[in-house]
Structure 1
Amino acid sequence: MERMHVNPRAGVVRDGTRDLAELPKAHLHLHFTGSMRSLTLLELADKYGVRLPEALTSALTSGEPPRLRATDERGWFRFQRLYDAARACLRAPEDIQRLVREAAEEDVRDGSGWLEIQVDPTSYAPALGGLIPALEIILDAVAAASRDTGLGMRVLVAANRMKHPLDARTLARLAVRFADQGVVGFGLSNDERRGMARDFDRAFAIAREGGLLAAPHGGELAGPSSVRDCLDDLHAARVGHGVRAAEDPVLLRRLADSGVTCEVCPASNVALGVYPKQADVPLRTLFDAGVPMALGADDPLLFGARLTAQYEIARHDHGFTDAELAELARQSVRGSAAPVDVREKLLARVDDWLAV
């Protein structure tokens, strides 16, 4: 039977009719370059005379995301090539400021009250005067966007597992240095099938000792073992993606019992070929097992779906009721690094959304 909620002023509201863009939520898995608007990328490419790959320009102009399949080395290389081409268009502080402001505006439009945007500042350092100036420019842009839009916004500094672990230690120390200026976490991104998590254990120890939340990627391109490695070797408080944990019931119980949040990005899971279709993404398996989740957009520039679209997928492809969608939103807030007062306000607003 279809569930109903009655409000004496609004009348009867049925599940599936509440606006998911108005559902308060936190956004915990959004990559820096991948957050860019399509039009912004096209304008920046024109500004700097950058010739974008045809697969990218045709996707941006058509509104359809590029065809990607990163489950093999060739497919991942192709995905990374498109990402690198987009990143090459970010060359000046004003480009960074524009990207961050627009990412905040998109999140506000999607009902987000808190955004933790993930960035490897070494990628932008050559164009911005070095590693420290690059991070300072990013943090200044985040502070300004947060002030202008009212969105709570912070930064998660991410190391690249394709680089040497010593580089990760340098980044961890830098992240800790800026912990009082907007950095709240430390991550590990790029192809999970490359490099061992334990090689980066010292970097994560530095970050944790400095008070930062540990949020490495695992359990998307690689299987359940990569999630276990994040827990055992890096002491993850959150796992970027983590969906492949659904293949291991023991691991599911461990995640649920420990309260480790998985940052699940259903649109990108399908776009990268991890699952054939949206109905195959194990959202229901994770949710029913009690694993906390925070739905995220990952790289909407390439995958074509922002934050609200992830909740739409949960509703339409997995049959989540409005009460369950509200609980997903609460889980995203609880898994965030937001201050207690911000969490309490967002959680109260989730209750208000459901009570209408």
Structure 2
Amino acid sequence: MERVRDVSELPKAHLHLHFTGSMRPGTLLELADKYGVRLPEALTDALTGGESPRLRATDERGWFRFQRLYDAARSCLREPEDIQRLVREAAEEDVKDGSGWLEIQVDPTSYAPRLGGLIPALEIILDAVESAMRETGLGMRVLVAANRMKHPLDARTLARLAVRYADRGVIGFGLSNDERRGLARDFDRAFAIARDGGLLSAPHGGELAGVASVRDCLDDLGADRIGHGVRAAEDPRLLKRLADRGVTCEVCPASNVALGVYEKPEDVPLRTLFEAGVPMALGADDPLLFGARLAAQYEIARRYHGFDDAELAELARQSVRGSAAPKDVQDELLSGIDAWLAAAPGDPGTPVGAGPAGVRQG
């Protein structure tokens, strides 16, 4: 049997991880018990060893069911210490999976009612990120995301807030929730505010909606990265445009299958995007609900799409280059990737990364 290198030791960046969705199942169960929250049965079954719920969010009823489970989990985050625990544990999980850089995505308005308001909520989150970085050595930043189910004026407020905290660790601005609702151009002013403030533009597109949603992210929101973007595989001209512009697609294979975008892992068009030259950053999306964290996404690429170790290393490089990590951190991660590939498969001394600036020590 051919020996392969451990993908959990491959240095990489993680660019698509939602805040509540990053929670450990055991943590959610403990917090639900602490606050007397009765979680939906489908969620408790999944958290106590059952299969992850098949959500089939390709129809509105399925998306509502997914959102209901997510909202139930989010309702268990009520105190600053809950936020601190979530962020620290998310960082610990990423370190175990070989991540040297994490950009976690959050809509602070979702947590503001229990944390004293919008500004206190974001400050609590950023404080938690700073603490987690010190405790784990992982480089972390925050991407503030607006909810496309809400009014575009709310998005502008969030964009201004994100810019205000750019010197505290906010690096980008996103747009999440059901892509089939609302038009990207309704949020163009918010994204203009964010871009003018020096933030990355990273809206969701090309998952539940199709090719047109990816084009809209590029044309109306000036996207530097696309959250998901897999449906671009349906249009060769759009693939070329993404490749030519170097727009990174944050592809989440396990999520795509769990939400019914594709029936099986082998149906996710990783090869199509890769061979078209579209940069990709594999991400876990919401591992709380989908059951697979970062390293598992690389295993999907290996097992179902035939990516060899050299190609997996290139995927990791693309994740690093698509990140907002400082150049010295990127350089050290890229060196770690080269070392991982140069080491013999199964070598326990394979380095994971090096350096003090938020890169995991091997």
Q: TM-score range by the shorter chain?
A: over 0.9
Of 254, 275, 285, which aligns to 1:288?
Answer: 275
Query: Which residue of structure 2 lines up, in the alignment, with residue 149 of structure 1?
Result: 136
Query: Which residue of structure 2 lines up, in the alignment, with residue 255 of structure 1?
Result: 242
Deviation, 1:66, is: 1.3
Of 168, 179, 195, which aligns to 1:181?
Answer: 168
How far, CA to CA, are the matches of 2:268 and 2:197 in structure 1? Answer: 35
Deviation, 1:45, is: 0.1
How far, CA to CA, are the matches of 2:273 and 2:50 in structure 1? Answer: 31
Q: Give a deviation string over 1:70-105, Cα, whole Å, max 9, x none.
A: 000000000000000000000000000000000000
Deviation, 1:63, is: 4.4
Task: Give the SS at the match of 1:62.
Answer: coil
Of 168, 187, 203, which aligns to 2:155?
Answer: 168
Query: Which residue of structure 1 lines up, in the alignment, with residue 261 of structure 2?
Result: 274
- Alignment coverage as a number of residue pairs: 343
Match status 1:338 vs 2:325: yes
Query: Which residue of structure 2 lines up, in the alignment, with residue 102 of structure 1?
Result: 89
Deviation, 1:327, is: 0.1
Which shows bigger deviation, 54-63 or 23-32?
Answer: 54-63
Q: Give a deviation string over 1:212-239, Cα, whole Å, max 9, x none.
A: 0000000000001000000000000000
How far, CA to CA, are the matches of 1:173 and 1:228 in structure 2? Answer: 25
Query: Which residue of structure 2 lines up, in the alignment, with residue 233 of structure 1?
Result: 220
Match status 1:25 vs 2:21: no
Which amino acid in 1 is paired with 2:52?
A: P
Of 134, 145, 151, which aligns to 1:158?
Answer: 145
Deviation, 1:147, is: 1.0
Query: Which residue of structure 2 lines up, in the alignment, with residue 8 of structure 1?
Result: none
How far, CA to CA, are the matches of 1:18 and 1:59 in structure 2? Answer: 30
Which amino acid in 2 is paired with 1:260?
A: V
How far, CA to CA, are the matches of 1:238 and 1:312 in structure 2? Answer: 23
Say whether the 8 Å CA contact 1:161–1:189 is kept in structure 2: yes
Query: Which residue of structure 1 lines up, in the alignment, with residue 48 of structure 2?
Result: 61
Task: Give the SS at the match of 2:48.
Answer: helix
How far, CA to CA, are the matches of 1:292 and 1:147 in structure 2? Answer: 30
Of 194, 198, 207, which aligns to 1:207?
Answer: 194
Of 48, 61, 71, which aligns to 1:74?
Answer: 61
Which amino acid in 1 is paired with 2:20?
A: T
Query: Which residue of structure 2 lines up, in the alignment, with residue 9 of structure 1?
Result: none
Query: Which residue of structure 2 lines up, in the alignment, with residue 195 of structure 1?
Result: 182
How far, CA to CA, are the matches of 1:66 and 1:301 in structure 2? Answer: 11
Task: Give the SS at the match of 1:333.
Answer: helix
Say whether the 8 Å CA contact 1:295–1:332 is kept in structure 2: yes
How far, CA to CA, are the matches of 1:316 and 1:60 in structure 2? Answer: 25
Task: Give the SS at the match of 1:191.
Answer: coil
How far, CA to CA, are the matches of 1:75 and 1:180 in structure 2? Answer: 39
Match status 1:265 vs 2:268: no
Deviation, 1:299, is: 0.1
Root-mean-square deviation (Å): 0.8
Match status 1:124 vs 2:111: yes
Of 31, 37, 42, which aligns to 1:44?
Answer: 31
How far, CA to CA, are the matches of 1:73 and 1:316 in structure 2? Answer: 31
Which amino acid in 1 is paired with 2:23?
A: M
Deviation, 1:64, is: 2.1
Deviation, 1:62, is: 1.6
Which amino acid in 2 is paired with 1:176?
A: V
Deviation, 1:17, is: 1.2
Matches of residues 322-333 of structure 1 in structure 2 within 5 Å?
A: 322-333=309-320
Query: Which residue of structure 2 lines up, in the alignment, with residue 351 of structure 1?
Result: 338
How far, CA to CA, are the matches of 2:196 and 2:176 in structure 1? Answer: 20
Q: Give a deviation string over 1:144-187, Cα, whole Å, max 9, x none.
A: 00111000000000000000000000000000000000100000
How far, CA to CA, are the matches of 1:133 and 1:33 in structure 2? Answer: 18
1:348–1:63 CA distance, 2 compared to 1 (3 A): farther
Say whether the 8 Å CA contact 1:63–1:304 is kept in structure 2: no
Could you tell me the percent identity over the aligned residues? 85
Match status 1:136 vs 2:135: no
Query: Which residue of structure 1 lines up, in the alignment, with residue 207 of structure 2?
Result: 220
Structure 2 unmatched ranges of 5 or more: 344-362
How far, CA to CA, are the matches of 1:147 and 1:336 in structure 2? Answer: 20
How far, CA to CA, are the matches of 1:40 and 1:66 in structure 2? Answer: 18
Query: Which residue of structure 2 lines up, in the alignment, with residue 113 of structure 1?
Result: 100
How far, CA to CA, are the matches of 1:150 and 1:56 in structure 2? Answer: 32
Give TM-score scaled by structure 1 length.
Answer: 0.96
